[in-house]
Every structure is written in structure tokens, then in C-alpha cells.
A and B are shown apart, each in its own frame.
Chain A
Amino acid sequence: MDLVSDLLKTLDQMVNDQFDSVEFKNFLAVPLTLERGRFYVIQNALYTSNRRDCWGYVQGGAPLEVKRVIWQHESDELINDPRAGMDHYALTVKQGEVIGLKPEDFAEAEIPSMVRACFYAWHHIAMHNHWLTAYTASHMLERRNNGKIVKGGGMSYRVGKKFENELGINLKKMISLDVHVVADTEHSENISEMFERYVKSAEDRDLVLKGARDSMAIDRAYRGALGYYMAQIH
């Protein structure tokens, strides 16, 4: 088996394993109430902002060709996703209307301490590592959201289904989650192509794996934190 296809299989296994972790299981097991749903949607907007920070840093450290791929990627996220007719932050805010949230609820939202620690950890990987490590760390969060790779559906799909099953809100009305079910599949495929071009040695592969492992660890901590905070809301 060649280096890259072996690597991609490992990455696929890692994103599937996330859903067997105690942190993911706990998070996905917390029953949704309207208040918990509101908390989640606001936190998801803050998470989206953190992604924009990290992809910017990754763009800074990456080779020119990869910078261009990331710039295109950020077009959907930061400027306008033609699937939604708005950027992804605005999409999350718009989605909030379905559960009674106003724009100021997002603007005034506090980042809980455990979540803040995760955001800083992602910043650190994105800014202070080899670009392949940084790039993979951000990519893995979209790969973990790719329903073609994750058996049983990516995170956005599963959370969307929880809104549908537990709060009676159709996934199509959860516009941000719904768009991400598709967008992150496309994004993770486009971004993944770069591994074919740049992973040429065992050293390159190890840089990718370091980014994947570190980011998935933070992702588990993040989901664990969200589950913890949501369980405190009654």
C-alpha cells in the first residue's frame, strides 16, 4: 500500500473513532431541550469563528499553492457560500432564529472556560507547527464532519438529527447544520487532495499524523466540555 492511501485510511479510522470516545458519546447522549439547543447553536458560532482564525494561520504558514486552496475554502466560510447565500457565521446566526435567538445573543456570548482552552489549543497548533501539521489539524475537523467517511454520519448530521428527533425541528430548518453536512464533505475532499501532492516521505506522514492526533484530542475535549455545560442547563 502506498504512503498516502495508507495515511488517508488512518485518518478515516481516526475520525470514526472519535464517535466511540467517551467525550463524544456523553455529548451526543445529553438530551436536547430548547435552552440546551440555544447554547449549542451559540457555541457552534464561536467554534466557526475559531475555525476562521485557525485557517488564516494555516494559510500563513502553507506553501503558495496550498494558500490558494485555503483562500478558496475560506470564500464559502467567510464571504459567501452559494449553497446558503451568506457566509457561514451569518448562517449560524440566521439558524438561531428558528430557536428564538437574536443576533445580540451571539454578539454577547461568553466563551466558557473549558471551551476557551480548546480554542487556544487549536490556535497553538495552527500557528506554531509545521504547515502540514497545522493544515491537518484544521482539515480533520471537516473530515470528522464528512458523512461519506464517518459511518452513521458526521457531527453536523448527528446533531441536526438530534434537533429533529428531540425538539421536532426539521434538519432543513437548521440551515447551518444542513449546509455543513454537504459543505464539509466537499471541503474535506478538496483539502485532502493536497496530501497527494505534499506527503512524499515518512517524515511528512508523521507531521500529518501529529496534526491529526492533536486536533482530534482537542476535539474530544471540546465535545466533552460542550456535553458537560449542556448537562448543567435545566
Chain B
Amino acid sequence: MGAANGIEKMWEELVGLCNAQFSSAPFKRLLSAKFTQARAQQYSIQMAYYVQNRRDCWGYVQGSAPFEIKKLIWQHEEDELIGQKAQGKVDHITLAVQEGEVFGLSAEAFERTARLEGGEVCFSAWIRLAQRSWLEAIAASAILEMRNSGELIEGGSLSQRIGAMFERDLNIPMKKQINNAEHVVMDVEHAHLLMQVARTYATTDSTRRAILRGAKESLMIDRVYRGHLGEMVEALP
């Protein structure tokens, strides 16, 4: 198979895997929940930890990637870690904390609430994956943004679906969910990073297998993580 065909086929498989996440039992469990304020608060706090873990992982990926890809990741991290000051956009951690206000959360609530135990285990697993060979590592991180791209996921990305649930259950319009709304837009753009990488580096069967391996393992952790979130949400009033 030629490299171009191989990349297209790999891309289709990756998109398929991302869509399949939403048919998995953990995703169905989380997405069938009904949000109360208490549930939304805890979900929001745990998602801020998830965003922080993403920053850990992208740092490790930046470390092992080739020079030109390091630059792409550095730019990617500008939105996430620093924000676009010229456009009046804050970083995504601050955004998550600001969004917490609509759920009745203070900034202190984020600081004093512990990470979910199951979340901690998943975060460690993602970090281990981020420290693997760079193609596996970048696929593991990038696939989570593909899974959050409304352009690639039929029926809407995870951020869109959760946002719709907050709107349905708590009457909080999407535009007031500033973190969710931002990720609905940004992850469409960020989802293309892996394809940019693949066009230059996924030129052999073994490199494409490395990408698929990293993506599949990351999606497996993602399912476990969403399962823990679903369990947490159900346990709350």
C-alpha cells in the first residue's frame, strides 16, 4: 500500500475508533446521567484536573518529538497554557475555573477538592503513554482532541454532548459554559494536528502501527476514565 493510501486508511480507522468511544458502556453510562448542580460541580472540578493532565502529557510529547513538531506542540500549548491575550482569551485552566462559577463553584473549590482516585490512576497511565516513542505518544494525546472534534464525531463531540446535558438538566446555555464552548471550537482545529504529523512521518507500516497503538491505548484509558466519572456522578445526589 502506498504511503498516501496508508495514511488515509489510518485516518479513517482513527476516526472510527473515536466514534466507537460513544458506543462503549462507560461513555453510555456517563452520557445517560442526569446532571444536578452537585454532579455538575464535581464533574467540572475533575475535568479541570483532566486538562492539567493534558498539559503534562503534551509537555512530554513535545520533549520527544522532532524539532518541527515541537514547534507545532508549543503553539498548541499557547491556547491551552497561556491563552490568546491579543484576542482576550485566557488559558484553558483559568477558563475551567471561570466556567465553574455558573455551577456555583468558587476558585477555592477547585483547589481544595481532591482528584478522583480512578482519575489519578488514568492520569498516571496517560503520562506513561506520553513517555513512549514519540509517534505513539503524540497519537495518544492527539486522539483525545479528535474524539472531541464535532467535525469528526457523528452526533457531536464529548464537550458538545456534555454541554447539551448541562443545558437540558440545569438550564445553563452553552454560551455560558465558556470552557465547553471553547473546546467545541478549539478541538476541531486541534484535531488536525495528528494528520499534519502523519503526512510527514507516517510513511511506513510500522510508523502507522505506532500511531494506531498509541491512539488505541489512549482511548482505552479514556473509556476507563469516563467510566470513573460516570460512577462518581451517579454516586452524587
Interface residues of A (CB under 8 A from B): 49, 52-62, 64, 67-68, 70-71, 74-75, 78-79, 87, 89, 123, 126-127
* Majority secondary structure, B binding face: helix
The answer on a CB contact under 8 Å between A89 and B67 is yes
Minimal beta-carbon separation of A107 from chain B (angstroms): 11
Given contacts A78-B70, A79-B74, A89-B67, contact A57 B60 (CB under 8 A): yes
Q: In B171-217, which residues have CB < 8 Å from any A CB? A: none
**Residues of B participating in the A interface, judged by any CB pair closer than 8 Å:** 52, 55-65, 67, 70-71, 73-75, 77-78, 81-82, 91, 93, 127, 130-131
Q: Which residue of A lies closest to B66 (CB)?
A: A49
Bound-complex Cα distance A84 to B144 (A):
37
Given contacts A54-B63, A60-B62, A127-B60, could you give 12 more A-B pairs where the C-beta distance is less than 8 Å? A49-B67, A53-B64, A59-B59, A59-B62, A60-B57, A60-B60, A60-B63, A64-B93, A71-B74, A71-B78, A78-B74, A79-B71
Out of A56, A68, A89, name the residue touching B81 (CB < 8 Å).
Answer: A68
Shortest C-beta distance, A25 to chain B (Å), equals 32
Tell me if A56 and B71 are in contact (CB < 8 A): no
Report the separation of the CA atoms of residues A55 and B131 in the bound assembly, to the nearest whole angstrom.
Answer: 14
Instruction: Verify A71–B64 contact, CB threshold 8 A.
Output: no
In Å, the complex CA distance between A90 and B77 comes to 22
Docked Cα-Cα span, A71 to B74, in Å, equals 7
Complex: A53 Cα to B78 Cα, angstroms? 18
B148 CB to nearest chain A CB (Å): 21
Q: Which residues of B are found within 8 Å of A123, using beta-carbon distances? A: 63
Please measure, in the bound complex, the distance between the C-alpha atom of A127 and the C-alpha atom of B60, giving whole angstroms: 8
Closest residue of chain B to A54 (Cβ to Cβ) is: B63
- Checking A53, A64, A75, A89 against B63 with a beta-carbon cut-off of 8 angstroms, the contacting residue is A53
The answer to whether A126 and B63 have CB atoms under 8 Å apart is: yes
Per DSSP, chain A at the interface is helix
Report the nearest A residue to B64, measured CB to CB. Answer: A53
Q: Do residues A56 and B82 form an inter-chain contact, with CB atoms below 8 A?
A: no
Looking at the assembled complex, report how far the CB atom of B125 sits from the nearest CB atom of chain A, in whole angstroms. 15
Q: How far does the alpha carbon of A5 sit from the alpha carbon of B91 in the complex, in Å?
A: 33
Q: Please indicate which of the listed interface residues B52, B58, B62 has the most CB atoms of chain A within 10 Å of its own CB.
A: B62
A56's contact among B70, B75, B91, B93, by CB below 8 Å, is which? B70
Q: List 15 A-B contacts (CB under 8 A).
A: A56-B60, A56-B64, A57-B59, A59-B59, A59-B62, A59-B63, A60-B58, A61-B59, A62-B59, A68-B82, A78-B70, A78-B71, A79-B74, A127-B60, A127-B63
CB-based contact A64/B55 at 8 Å: yes
Complex Cα distance A57/B59, Å?
6
- Report which of A55, A60, A62, A71 forms a contact with B130, defined as CB distance below 8 A: A60
- Residues in B with CB closer than 8 Å to A54 are 63
Contacts of B57 in A (CB 8 A): 60
Q: Which residue of A lies closest to B58 (CB)?
A: A60
B67 pairs with A56, CB closer than 8 A:
no
The smallest beta-carbon distance between B151 and chain A, in angstroms, is: 27
CA distance A119 to B180 in the complex (A): 41
A64 vs B64: C-alpha distance when bound (angstroms): 20
A152 CB → nearest B CB, Å: 33
